[in-house]
């Protein structure tokens, strides 16, 4: 998505650099507005991340392909966040950006 011009802010407590960008240990450590939190975690680990997403004031929550957590999706929706589940952001972007 970086190649497409999107700013990517990695959040990973086990890394200091991801995709050439500094990684933050948590969403709380990120300053500024977050448009989309793209979650690459096991399905059972998603709810606390959605809670962090809500607390930070991010605008949307996206669970990557293979990540399904109905309780987390319901919590995000309850907080007024658009939520996508079990979809690849890159694939969805490519499908919608394709021009014949």
Domain boundaries, the chain: 17-97
pLDDT range class, residue 81, cuts 50, 70, 90: very high
More confident call, 89 vs 84: 84
pLDDT range class, residue 94, cuts 50, 70, 90: confident
Write down the pLDDT at residue 86.
Answer: 96
What's the half-sphere exposure (Cβ side, CA atoms, 13 Å) at 92? 11
Q: For 17-97, give the CATH class.
A: alpha beta
pTM value is 0.83
pLDDT range class, residue 53, cuts 50, 70, 90: very high
Question: Has residue 92 got a pLDDT over 60?
Answer: yes
């Amino acid at each position: 998505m970086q190649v497409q011009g999107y700013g990517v802010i990695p959040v990973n407590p086990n890394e200091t650099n991801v995709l050439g960008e500094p990684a933050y240990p948590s969403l709380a450590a990120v300053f500024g507005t977050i448009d989309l939190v793209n979650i690459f975690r096991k399905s059972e680990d998603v709810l606390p991340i959605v809670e962090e997403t809500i607390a930070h004031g991010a605008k949307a929550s996206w669970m990557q392909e293979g990540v399904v957590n109905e309780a987390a999706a319901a919590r995000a929706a309850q907080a007024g966040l658009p939520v996508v589940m079990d979809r690849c952001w890159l694939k969805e972007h490519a499908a919608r950006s394709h021009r014949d």
